Structures are given as C-alpha cells and as structure tokens.
Amino acid sequence: MNQTFQNLDYEKQNRIINAALQEFAENGFEKASTNRIVKTAKIGKGMLFYYFQNKEELFYYLINYSLNLANTKLLEQVDKKEPDFIERLKQIAQSKTEFHLNHPNVLNFLGNLFLTGTLEIPVHFKKRYQEMMNSRISLLYEGIDTNLFRKDIDTEKAFKLIKWSIDGYQNELIAHLKNQNLTMINYDTYWEEFYELLDILKTLYYKKEEEQE
C-alpha cells in the first residue's frame, strides 16, 4: 500500500474503505469489481491503483483493517472484571450495536470471509481471526459469578436464553436504525427500553437481592 493512502483525509479514506468492504463482502474476491469500488467511492480508477498496487493488496489491507478495528471496538471496550453476566452482556451489546451502526460493512466482510471458508487466505489472518473469536468467548464467560442465578434453573441454559434475548433486541435495533442519519438520533429512548429488558431478565433468572448476600 502506498503511504499516500494513509495520509488521505478521513472522509475520503473512509469512502474508499467502505466501498471496497461492501464490494468484497457481497461478491467475494474473484467477482469483486474495482470498477464498482471506484464508482461507489467516487474516485478515479487510476487513483485506486496508485494507493494499492492491485486488488489483492487492497483485499489484504481490508482484512488487516477490519481485524484491528473489531479487536479495538468490540473487545477492548468491555470490562472483563464485571462478574454479572447480564451487565457484561449489556456492555457487549452496546459496543456491538454502536460498531454495527458506525461500521456496517466490517462485520459483514469478516463474516463472509472467514465463515464461508470458500476463499484461501494467508494463515496468519486465520490465526488472528480465531484468536479474536476465542477472546469473544472469554469475554462472555470468564469470571462470571454463577451464584447470582437462581438455584432452580440450569445456568448453562439460562446463559443461552439471556444471550438470545439480548441478541434479538440488538438485531431489531440495528435493523430499525439502518440507513438513518445516526447523528440525528437520540439513543436514550432505545437504551432505556434495553435496560428495562435487562431488569426483566434479572427478575427471571437471578436470585432476589436478599438471597444473593
């Protein structure tokens, strides 16, 4: 990659990255069109190949960019010391929702790239992706205080039901806010509804406060 790309202003750099992410996510490497990328990014084709020598170099740049961004925005912002499973899931859900809305093409790109298994990519990228997935599992369960849960329910099943509930609300929220002007949205109403959901989940699955002492 030409260093000039790193020196571009944020808006133009972001346009190129998002156009390329979308194209590769939707069409894969072989069918991805650099003509469509430059049209969406609103730049000349010659400029794209000035920044990147070829389509493969652009593709590898996007993998590295997406993995770095996902690690920073999805993993590092969650407090692993939080022992309450629902409270930790709240942090993860907020982080993931904001990530989806601000970087809509990154998770689609990574998911299509690594989960389909149809494209051969360098081993070190596969290793980094697996490490990220392992960190996500650790982020969910490591250090969780299972004593918060009622004694008459299966904790492992409760984990799944709680996660499904929160994932479902999060996916509904993302679908509702998709393509809206995010700078004009007041998120307080959505998060208030989300916190009400969490309170209901705690009532269903956790011991009463006096029983936790």
Domain range enclosing 182:
69-212
Q: Is residue 62 part of a domain?
A: no
Size of the chain in residues: 213
**Number of domains forming the structure of the chain:** 2
**Is 35's pLDDT higher than 70?**
yes
Assess whether 14 and 75 both reside in one domain.
no
Q: Is residue 15 part of a domain?
A: yes
Q: Is residue 199 part of a domain?
A: yes
Assess whether 98 and 15 both reside in one domain.
no
For residues 22-29, give the mean pLDDT.
88
Q: Which tokens hold the place of 67?
A: 């993995």
- Banded pLDDT at 102 (limits 50, 70, 90): confident
Assess whether 5 and 96 both reside in one domain.
no
Q: What is the pLDDT of residues 202-212, one digit of tens each?
A: 999 999 876 66
**Is 126's pLDDT higher than 90?**
no
Helix axes 55-70, 106-116, angle to 10 degrees: 110
Ramachandran sector of residue 117 (left: φ over 0; alpha: ψ -120 to 50; beta: rest): left
Residue 67 contacts residue 129 (beta carbons within 8 Å): yes
For residues 124-151, give the mean pLDDT.
87
pTM (whole model) above 0.75: no
Residue 79 contacts residue 187 (beta carbons within 8 Å): no
Q: Is 31 exposed, middle or buried (0-12, 13-18, 19+ CB in 10 A)?
A: exposed
Spell out the SS3 assignment of 133-192.
Answer: HHHHHHHHHCCCCHHHECCCCCHHHHHHHHHHHHHHHHHHHHHHHCCCCHHHCCCHHHHH
